[in-house]
Amino acid sequence: MNIVIFTNTYTPHVGGVARSVEAFVTEYRKMGHRVLVVAPEFANMPEHEPDVVRIAAIQNFNATDFSVALPFHDKLSQILDEFKPDIIHSQHPFLLGMSALRTARYRKLPLVFTHHTLYEQYTHYVPGDSQTMQHFAIALATRYANLCDQVIAPSQSIADLLHERGVTSPVRVIPTGVYLEKFAKGDGNLVRQQLGIPADAMVIGHLGRLAPEKNLTILSQAVADALCAHAKAHFLVVGAGPSEQSIRHIFADAGIADRLHMAGVLQQQSLTDALHAMDIFGFASASETQGMVVTEAMAAGLPVVAFDAPGVREVVVNDQNGLLLSQKTSTALATALSQLMENPAKITALGEGALQTAGNLAMSCSAAKALLCFRSVLDSVPASTKTERDWEDVLAWIKAEWDILSSVAVAGTTAISSGLFADGKLAASKK
The per-residue pLDDT of the chain, averaged, comes to: 85
- Overall number of domains in the chain: 2
Q: Is the pLDDT of residue 420 over 60?
A: no
CA distance 133 to 358: 37
Question: What pLDDT does residue 12 have?
Answer: 78
Minimum mean pLDDT range among 168-177, 242-251, 261-270, 414-423: 414-423
CA 65 to chain centre: 15
Question: What pLDDT does residue 358 have?
Answer: 95
The answer to whether position 426 is within a domain reads no
Same-domain check for residues 338 and 400: no
Residues 6+ apart with CB under 8 A from 367: 23, 24, 27, 28, 31, 177
Tens digit of pLDDT for each residue in 160-212? Answer: 999 999 999 999 999 999 999 999 999 999 999 999 999 999 999 999 989 88
Which tops the pLDDT comparison, 245 or 68? Answer: 245
The answer to whether position 14 is within a domain reads yes
389 pLDDT tier (thresholds 50, 70, 90): very low
Same-domain check for residues 263 and 340: yes
End position of a domain, from candidates 311, 329, 359: 359
Same-domain check for residues 235 and 301: yes
396 pLDDT tier (thresholds 50, 70, 90): low
Same-domain check for residues 169 and 88: yes
Average pLDDT over residues 365-394: 73
Q: Is the pLDDT of residue 29 over 90?
A: yes
3-state secondary structure of 264: strand
72 pLDDT tier (thresholds 50, 70, 90): low
The answer to whether position 371 is within a domain reads yes
Same-domain check for residues 141 and 162: yes
402 pLDDT tier (thresholds 50, 70, 90): low
Question: What pLDDT does residue 201 have?
Answer: 97
Handedness of CA 312, 191, 14, 24 (dihedral sign): negative
The answer to whether position 167 is within a domain reads yes
Which tops the pLDDT comparison, 121 or 8? Answer: 8
What CATH number is attached to the domain comprising 226? 3.40.50.2000
Question: What pLDDT does residue 62 have?
Answer: 44
Question: What pLDDT does residue 388 have?
Answer: 41
Same-domain check for residues 77 and 168: yes
Average pLDDT over residues 400-420: 53
CA distance 227 to 221: 10
Question: What pLDDT does residue 404 have?
Answer: 54
Same-domain check for residues 14 and 46: yes
Q: Is the pLDDT of residue 61 over 50?
A: no
Same-domain check for residues 170 and 191: no
H/E stretch holding 261 reads: strand 260-264
Tens digit of pLDDT for each residue in 106-161? Answer: 899 999 999 987 766 544 444 454 577 778 778 888 989 999 999 999 989 889 99
End position of a domain, from candidates 313, 339, 359: 359
- In the Cβ-directed half-sphere of 113, how many Cα atoms lie within 13 Å? 28
Average pLDDT over residues 214-235: 97
Q: Is the pLDDT of residue 357 over 80?
A: yes
Question: What pLDDT does residue 255 have?
Answer: 97
The answer to whether position 259 is within a domain reads yes
Which tops the pLDDT comparison, 44 or 247? Answer: 247
The answer to whether position 427 is within a domain reads no
Same-domain check for residues 402 and 367: yes
Cα 279 to Cα 64, 183, 190, 355: the distances in Å are: 31, 14, 15, 14
Average pLDDT over residues 246-259: 98
The answer to whether position 291 is within a domain reads yes
Same-domain check for residues 344 and 393: no
**Strand 68-69 with 57-58, pairing:** antiparallel
Task: Tell me if 394 sits within 8 A of 199, measured CB to CB.
Answer: no
Residue 178: exposure state from Cβ atoms within 10 A (0-12, 13-18, ≥19): buried
> What's phi and psi for 336, nearest 5 deg?
-65, -45
Average pLDDT over residues 288-302: 90
Minimum mean pLDDT range among 64-78, 104-118, 249-263, 412-426: 412-426
Cα 403 to Cα 277, 322, 383, 406: the distances in Å are: 51, 45, 22, 5
Same-domain check for residues 57 and 204: no
End position of a domain, from candidates 359, 384, 406: 359
Residue 23 belongs to domain spanning: 2-177+363-421
422 pLDDT tier (thresholds 50, 70, 90): very low
Measuring CA to CA, which residue among 81, 90, 96, 79 is closest to residue 40?
96
Question: What pLDDT does residue 213 have?
Answer: 83
Residues 6+ apart with CB under 8 A from 85: 2, 3, 4, 36, 107, 109
Same-domain check for residues 216 and 245: yes
Average pLDDT over residues 339-351: 98
DSSP class of residue 318 equals B
The answer to whether position 296 is within a domain reads yes
